[in-house]
Structure 1
Amino acid sequence: MTPFAALHHRPGAPLLLPNAWDHASAAALAEQGFAAIGTTSLGVAAAAGLPDGTAATRRETVRLARRLARGRFLLSVDVEAGFSEDPSEVADLAVELAEIGVAGINLEDGRADDTLAPVAGHAAKVTAVKAAAPGLFVNARTDTYWLGLADPGPETARRLAAYQDAGADGVFVPGLAEPAAIEVLAGRCAVPLNVLYSPAGPPPARLAELGVSRISLGSLLYRAALAAAVQTAVAVRDGRPGPVAGAVPGYAAVAGLHRDGAEGP
Structure 2
Amino acid sequence: MPRRGTDSDSTWDGAGVVITGAAQGIGAAYADRLAAEGARLVLADLKPEGLRSVAERTNAIAVQGDCSTSEGIRQLVDRATEHLGDIDVWIGNAGVDAGQGLHADEASWDLSWQVNVLAHARAARLLIPRWLERGSGRFIVTASAAGLLTVLGSPTYAVTKHGAVAYAEWLAATYGAHGIKVHAVCPQGVQTDMLAGIDEAAAAIISADGALQPSDVAQALVDAVERETFLVLPHPQVADYYRYRATHTDKWLSGMQSLQAKLDAARPLTDR
Instruction: Give TM-score scaled by structure 2 length.
Output: 0.37
Greater RCO structure (CA 8 Å; 6+ sep): 1
Instruction: Give the helix-richer structure, 1 or 2.
Output: 2
